């Protein structure tokens, strides 16, 4: 059986699409558990319309806590979580079941994932890719060196129990930290099939908190340098500082142009320079600093 866990809070606008994407699967051996954090927007009334669901609604300590609760309630030998604004594509669970059956030693199956806008229109595709477990430490290479689309990840229950649940002190990179723990113990099987759809809207956590997410992922990665030979660790640390500083510079420029982040560009720039002081030699830094200083407080 495949257990699907959906953590949610006040997402009445999208949760129906999520529920129905699971219910419409042509694979009969599944259960869908919704863990609601105390919604007040009408979401509970929607949940009550689906008798096949198991659900609870109570305060929690965040997304990781909610997912862990749901997995503890579940009984499947394969577990996954699907956020309440994401969806599964037709046939996804059957593909996953066949992938696990074909390779009993595999602990994790991942597939491709479409990128959806607020209106559920497809805007792109995340192609699942992971060739070497140490590639995960180069998280700035997302989409080129590796890509693990969270809604299209399925884990054997026994393996999940071995590594422990999601870390509740993490709120933005808990998936990344979990993939690192799993990669240290098992192989990931990539199936070249589109299993899910991931919603990217202007006000989602993924969009608004990219600065904090980048730094949390950086801190997480430093705890798994044992995945590479010791003689490579120093060089990897230097590469991480340089690459993340450059990424933060790009985020600062984006904030100055589009104002889509929840941190001021000046703060992002200072953090970038702190990670890689040589960045001060880039004209991009001085242009961004100038634009940040010229922005009026009322803007």
- CATH assignment at residue 102: 3.90.550.10
- 224 within domain boundaries: no
Same domain, 188 and 239: no
How many structural domains are present in the chain?
2
Residues 199 and 250 in one domain: no
Indicate whether 222 belongs to any domain.
Answer: no
pLDDT at 206: 63
Q: Which domain holds residue 162?
A: 2-206
- Is residue 40 located within the same domain as residue 187? yes
Question: In this structure, is residue 217 part of a structural domain?
Answer: no
Based on the domain organization, do 202 and 269 belong to the same domain?
A: no
Answer yes or no: is 245 within a domain.
yes
Q: Give this prediction's pTM.
A: 0.91
Together in a domain, 257 and 197: no
pLDDT band per the 50, 70, 90 thresholds, residue 127? very high
Query: Which of 206, 241, 256 is the last residue before a domain boundary?
Result: 206
CA separation for the pair 95, 80 (Å, rounded): 14
129 neighbors 146 (Cβ within 8 angstroms): yes
Q: Are residues 147 and 40 in the same domain?
A: yes
Given pLDDT bands bounded at 50, 70 and 90, which one contains residue 76?
Answer: very high
Residue 152 falls within a domain, yes or no?
A: yes
The pLDDT of 241-270, averaged and rounded, is: 90
């Amino acid at each position: 059986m495949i257990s699907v866990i959906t953590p949610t809070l006040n997402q009445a606008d999208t949760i129906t699409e999520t529920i129905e994407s699971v219910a419409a699967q042509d694979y009969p051996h599944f259960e869908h558990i919704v863990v609601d954090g105390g919604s007040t927007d009408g979401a509970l009334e929607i949940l009550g319309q689906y008798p096949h669901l198991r659900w609870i609604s109570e305060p929690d300590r965040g997304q990781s806590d909610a997912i862990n609760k749901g997995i503890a309630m579940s009984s499947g030998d394969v577990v996954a979580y699907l956020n309440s604004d994401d969806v599964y594509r037709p046939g996804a669970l059957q593909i996953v079941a066949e992938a696990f059956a074909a390779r009993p030693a595999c602990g994790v199956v991942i597939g491709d994932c479409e990128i959806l806008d607020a209106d559920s229109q497809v805007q792109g595709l995340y192609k699942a890719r992971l060739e070497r477990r140490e590639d995960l430490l180069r998280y700035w290479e997302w989409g080129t060196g590796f890509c693990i689309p969270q809604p299209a990840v399925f884990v054997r229950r026994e393996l999940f129990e071995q590594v422990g649940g999601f870390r509740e002190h993490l709120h933005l990179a808990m998936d990344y930290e979990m993939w690192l723990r799993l990669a240290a113990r098992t192989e990931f099987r990539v199936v070249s099939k589109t299993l899910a759809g991931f919603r990217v809207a202007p006000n989602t956590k993924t969009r608004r908190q990219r600065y904090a997410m980048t730094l949390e992922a950086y801190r997480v990665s430093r705890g798994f340098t044992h995945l590479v030979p010791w003689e490579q660790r120093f060089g990897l640390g230097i590469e991480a500082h340089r690459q993340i500083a450059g990424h933060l510079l790009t985020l600062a420029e984006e904030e100055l142009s589009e104002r889509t982040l929840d941190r001021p560009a000046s703060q992002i720039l200072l953090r970038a320079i702190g990670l890689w002081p040589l960045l001060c030699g880039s004209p991009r830094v001085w242009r961004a600093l100038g634009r940040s200083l010229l922005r009026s407080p009322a803007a």
